[in-house]
Amino acid sequence: MASRFNAGRTVAVVGGGASGLVTALALAAGGLHVTFVAPRRAPDPRTTALMDGSVKALQALGVWPALLPNAAPLRVMRLIDGTRRLLRAPEVDFRAGELGLDAFAWNLENEPLLAALDAAVAGHAGIERIEASVVTVTDGPDAVRIELDDGRVLNVALVAAADGRNSPCRRAAGIEMRMREYPQVAVTATLAHARPHGDISTEFHTETGPFTLVPLPGERSSVVCVVSPREAEQLMALDADAFARVMERKAHSILGAMRLDSPRGNFPLSSRTATSFARGRIALIGEAAHIIPPIGAQGLNLGIRDAATLAELASAAANSGEDIGGASVTEAYERRRRADVESRSFAVDLFNRSLLSGFVPLAGLRGFGLWLLGRSPLLRRAVMREGVGPTRDVPRLLAGERL
Ligand SMILES: Cc1cc2nc3c(=O)[nH]c(=O)nc-3n(C[C@H](O)[C@H](O)[C@H](O)COP(=O)(O)OP(=O)(O)OC[C@H]3O[C@@H](n4cnc5c(N)ncnc54)[C@H](O)[C@@H]3O)c2cc1C
């Protein structure tokens, strides 16, 4: 296929989920030529809480004004121990104002999020869009050769593989995943409710996992309800009214009567981390590189930091006349992403285990930790700051700077 782009400055972004779309925009903002390969996407019933740094990156990329009308701020995060254990933790409130922020995060449904990102990609002169799937990827010393299912062939200097959890690009690069499965499923839905949420996200800790209510615009919230696979099956089988009644009961009626306002989703929980985030000229982005249980709203925020980091490194290489898919870019990418991803996977895993475990010392430790957080503003601020995003080695886009 004759591309209008010069192969030496071209990055192929593979995958049209949120991570791929943001990666295409970030690379194009860094002055690189982007060939964006994605098949038509399926509807996504989830919602995403975008942390402050991700919002800054989307502002710098010029997409935030299109997202804002569909987003609700999370100004307070409330943790409530809903277990029936002997050692129960006290309730803790985290307030964005304590960090000098207007909101920790903004929550929105994935459909308007993806539609706005799609429109920005379609309107960008530096991005060539191909609606197709990648069939084979062959990494070579000077370029990567990509064959598409419509018969076209691409030759590019760098591949940003945002092709999801089963990533064909990752398999072509020979990169393994370290995996951990959990005996849990996240049931998701949007619910309308009688009382206002007051911009408060509430997380009830239960013996099967967290039950989280996250504000959406209007008197609506998204629910992420982590339960056993058997309970998930039962919840999915309920009719809409019965489902809403169960959600209201799990929410201790804090938002009043509830009504189902979206299709339901169910997502088995697992944690996976790639043993390398890049090999040869192939760099992994988003769920191709790491999958984290939907606890603490970390997944896509990590994907946006992957996108911003790769764009920063590749664009610096291009500006100094270096190979954009060379070892100096991919090795720096591996180094800069590893600690952020590993530390968040570890924290989410530990927290989830402390809920599931009947082991009194572990549950007690969680309770003690929350008790300490309730009493120490210094510790609370440190935890809040780290929860919102990393404080070290922050990519420039995340600080709101243009590339
Ligand atoms: C219940 C739930 C709630 C969540 N809430 C949050 C939250 O509040 N905040 C947050 O930050 N994260 C959250 N996440 C995580 C977030 O949803 C994911 O991190 C994010 O959707 C991953 O996006 P992605 O683009 O990496 O992968 P995907 O969305 O899976 O996209 C991968 C894309 O690759 C394409 N693809 C696959 N094969 C090929 C091929 N051969 N050729 C071309 N393309 C291909 C697919 O079609 C797909 O479009 C949540 C996750 C769950 C399950």
In a domain, 255, yes or no: no
pLDDT number for residue 12: 98
Q: Is 84 exposed, middle or buried (0-12, 13-18, 19+ CB in 10 A)?
A: exposed
Per-residue exposure over 339-364, b if at least 16 CB sit within 10 Å of its own CB, e if not: ebbeebbebbbebbebbbeeeeeebe
User: Which of helix, strand or coil describes residue 204?
Assistant: strand
Is 211 domain-assigned? no
The pairs formed by 177-181 with CB atoms below 8 angstroms and a separation of 24 or more are 177/272, 177/273, 177/274, 177/275, 178/272, 178/273, 178/274, 178/275, 179/270, 179/271, 179/272, 180/270, 180/271, 180/272, 180/349, 181/268, 181/269, 181/270
Please identify, by atom number, the ligand 1 atom nearest to the C-alpha of residue 54: 11
What is the per-residue pLDDT across 105-121, written as a single tens digit (0 to 9) for each? 999 999 999 999 999 99
The CATH number of whichever domain residue 114 belongs to comes to: 3.50.50.60
Pocket of ligand 1 contains residue 273 by CB under 6 Å: no
- Domain membership of residue 135 (yes or no) is yes
For residue 118, the number of C-alpha atoms closer than 13 Å in the C-beta half-sphere is 15
Ligand 1 atom with minimal separation from the 285 CA: 26
- Residue 215's pLDDT is what? 98
Q: Does 170 reside within a domain?
A: yes
pLDDT for the residue numbered 6: 64
Average pLDDT per block of 10 residues along the chain, 403 residues long? 65 98 98 96 92 96 97 94 68 89 95 97 96 97 96 97 98 96 95 98 91 97 97 98 98 96 95 97 98 90 98 96 96 96 90 71 69 70 78 91 90
In degrees, rounded to 5, the angle at the alpha carbon of residue 188 between the alpha carbons of residues 186 and 192 is 150
**226: in domain:** no
Pocket mutation for ligand 1, best pick of 287, 302, 341, 352 (most atoms within 8 Å of C-beta):
287
Query: What local confidence, expressed as pLDDT, does residue 382 receive?
Result: 75
Rounded distance from Cα 288 to ligand 1 centre (Å): 9
49 in contact with ligand 1, CB cutoff 6 A: yes
- Domain range enclosing 277: 7-71+109-179+271-358+394-399
Answer whether 352's CB lies under 8 Å from 363's CB. Answer: no
Q: What is the pLDDT of residue 3?
A: 57
Q: Residue 195 C-alpha to ligand 1 middle, in angstroms? A: 31
How many angstroms does the Cα of residue 366 sit away from the middle of ligand 1?
A: 30
pLDDT attached to residue 393: 85
- Nearest-angstrom CA–CA distance, 351 and 168: 31
| CA–centroid distance, residue 18 to ligand 1 (Å) | 6
Looking at residue 67, its pLDDT comes to 98
**Residue 294 Cα to ligand 1 middle (Å):** 12
- On whether residue 90 sits in a domain, the answer given is no
Tell whether 127 is covered by a domain.
Answer: yes
Instruction: Please report the pLDDT score of residue 85 as a whole number.
Output: 63
304 inside domain: yes
Tell me what pLDDT residue 310 has: 98
Ligand 1: which of 46, 129, 267 to mutate, judged by most atoms within 8 Å of the beta carbon? Answer: 46
Identify the pLDDT of residue 148.
Answer: 98
Number of domains in the chain: 1
